[in-house]
Amino acid sequence: MSTTDWPRAIAHFDLDQFYAAVEILDFPELKGLPLIVGGAPGNRGVVCTASYEARKFGVHSAMASGQAARLCPHATWRPPRMSRYAEKSREIRAVFERYTDQIEPLSLDEAFLDLTGSIPLFGAPEIIARRIKDEIRSETGLTVSVGLAFNKFLAKIASDFKKPDGFVVIPPDPAAARDFLAPLPVARLWGVGPKTRERLNALGFFTVGELAVADPAWLCKRIGQDAAEHLLALSLGLDAREVISGERPKSIGRENTFAKDLFEREAMERELLAFADDVAARLRAQNLRCYGVTLKVRLGDFSTFTRATSFDEATDLAGPLYSAARELLRDKVDTRGKGVRLLGLSAHKLCAADEATASLFPDEDATRGRRAAQAIDSLRERFGGDAVKLGRLLEKRQKNTGTPSDRPASGEKT
């Protein structure tokens, strides 16, 4: 295609089985084996990445290690080596930077590139994307799946279409984009999780193409205007978001080492509540949301546990962060009667607020919770960080309404 055929060219690069691929690169004897990178099953860990051989048995990232071990009992396990993965990620970033400075990293193994400005220098975007893909393979030994399209949504869909080692181009033709999307299940659209998919199926929508021809007024009456507009735009392949260059933080967190070890569960959970409140406020201040939370626990004997879980919908509210961390502490950490020396809570899998795949059928409590959180942010900005304490709100609700202490305040939904 000529350069004029691409008014905007967005590529999404997604490394294949990244952590597992790096392990295989460094230890070739692992090639072809069902490999799981993550916490060992006996330590209540979670799966970070599974090789494609392990995925055939149903193993996937964020799965509890115990469940993964039951599905694939003969798997080979490796602990994650984050510094090594970060090193390989920097090598990949260096390849990107040869062709564009418009790079939006989503994680160590995933990024959007805006190639529009690179076309006069390097040729058609298909050539540029293919060249980047080939150079990543030759220089790092890793394979990457690439999606190229005229917006971010389509590029992301395309990169996942023929994994692993895929290269899919959706040309800058709205009709071609609609034809590409039409046979896909509605679950492939951003914002459509399991519950939303069931709701759409109940309304008679199973494919993207069926949504694309839905009557807008009819759809608005049944799912609301915002949800209907969101669905219809995506089903037609429309997405106006720009690639936001610059380094996005990988996580936002807070931890504390205590002067005296904590033994009481209630005291630990009070700390986690304060951490969740602080982390959520920092997410909102940076216009970010997260799809996951990590709990860090260090005992008095310096043994350390990290446990993580993911959300179906991105959040910037303290309630979901606290509830998830508290559940991890209760169910996934055995202190063996020893005191806790350090606690930490961090939000990970970050995204810009306007990129979050929010529920298409928003919960009114969650909506009220976000408004309340923003009001608290304003009060703190005006009167100082100690003007409002989430713990104090919980205590007040208990006295006035008898609300259980383990429920989040401010209308935040667990």
Burial class (CB in 10 A: 0-12, 13-18, 19+), 209: middle
**Is-contact 281 382, C-beta < 8 A?**
no
> Would you call 364 exposed, middle or buried from its count of C-beta atoms within 10 A (0-12, 13-18, 19+)?
exposed
The token pair at 339 is 């005191």
H/E stretch holding 377 reads: helix 364-383
The single-letter DSSP state of residue 213 is T
Determine the Cα–Cα distance for residues 386 and 337; give it in Å rounded to an integer: 34
3-state secondary structure 264-280: CHHHHHHHHHHHHHHHH
Q: What are phi and psi of 46, to 5 degrees?
A: -130, 160
Closest by Cα among 250, 377, 359 to 315: 359
Distance CA 360, CA 338 (A): 44
Q: What share of the chain is helix, strand, coil (3-state, %, to 5)?
A: 45, 20, 30
Strands (E), 75-178: 76-78, 103-107, 110-114, 144-149, 167-169
CA 298/CA 308 separation, integer angstroms: 15
Joined together, the tokens standing for residue 13 give 């690069």
Catalytically annotated residue among 53, 110, 269, 271: 110
- Whether residue 12 contacts residue 158, with contact meaning beta carbons closer than 8 Å, is answered with yes
Q: What are phi and psi of 294, to 5 degrees?
A: -120, 135
According to DSSP, the residues that pair with 13 across neighbouring strands are 111, 146
Task: Please confirm, yes or no, whether 264 is among the known catalytic residues.
Answer: no
DSSP helix/strand/coil, 110: strand
Q: What are phi and psi of 393, to 5 degrees?
A: -65, -40
**Residues carrying an active site annotation:** 110
